[in-house]
């Protein structure tokens, strides 16, 4: 018989007990930090249901579950297009005030002020020796005879 002597970290128990119900309807356990407020716990617990609903809508309305390819790259492309279309339509819906869906927007950003997204052209390259123009010229020099092809150039 094994006995576990170490103590577990403190956990929150969040109980949903709607008015008029004889007993609680939902229970949530959380390992959120001690400084978390009850409002933050409720926000995160309810966010789980919003995410689930959005996922169902992505599968049913935008064809996320319709992919029948055989490789990761194809699925990633398909999923990216589905999520982009969904994001565009949700933004339009919220911009016109026609829906209250996904209205829970945090008041402050959780990102640091000096945060620069990966791939952003605003910041310096992660490694000083890596430049997108150098990669393009390297690929071009390896071709023996490339047919003329129009290119899109960044201004």
Per-residue pLDDT tens digits for 4-50 = 777 777 888 889 998 999 999 989 888 888 888 889 988 988 888 88
Does 113 fall in a domain?
no
Q: Please identify which residue in the block is written with the tokens 């935008």.
A: 62
The answer to whether residue 47 sits within a structural domain is yes
What is Dmax (Cα atoms) for the chain?
Answer: 79
Number of domains in the chain: 1
Judge whether 138 lies within some domain: no
> Is 148 inside a domain boundary?
no
User: Nearest 5°: phi and psi at 94?
Assistant: -70, -30
Q: Residue 129 domain-assigned?
A: no
* Whether 32 contacts 41, CB under 8 Å: yes
The answer to the question of residue 72 being in a domain is yes
d(CA 133, CA 153): 11
Is 140 inside any structural domain?
no
The pLDDT assigned to 104 comes to: 53
The domain containing residue 62 runs over which residues? 12-108
Q: How far is CA 152 from CA 76, 134, 144, 145, 155, in A?
A: 24, 16, 21, 20, 9
Q: What is the mean pLDDT of residues 115-136?
A: 59
Answer yes or no: is 75 within a domain.
Answer: yes
Chain segment 55-104, per-residue pLDDT in tens: 898 888 888 888 888 888 988 999 999 999 998 888 888 877 655 554 55
């Amino acid at each position: 018989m094994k006995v576990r002597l170490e103590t577990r970290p403190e956990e929150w128990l969040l109980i949903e007990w709607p008015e008029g119900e004889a007993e609680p309807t939902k229970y949530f356990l959380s390992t959120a930090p001690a400084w978390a407020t009850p409002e933050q716990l409720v926000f995160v617990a309810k966010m789980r249901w919003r995410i689930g609903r959005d996922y169902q809508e992505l599968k049913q309305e935008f064809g996320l579950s319709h992919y029948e390819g055989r490789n990761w790259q194809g699925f990633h492309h398909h999923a990216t297009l589905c999520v982009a279309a969904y994001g565009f339509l949700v933004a339009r819906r919220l911009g016109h005030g026609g829906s209250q869906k996904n209205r829970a927007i945090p008041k402050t950003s959780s990102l640091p002020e000096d945060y620069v997204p990966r791939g952003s052209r605003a910041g310096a390259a992660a490694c000083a020796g890596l430049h997108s123009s150098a990669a393009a010229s390297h690929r071009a020099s390896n071709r023996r005879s490339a047919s003329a092809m129009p290119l899109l150039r960044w201004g």
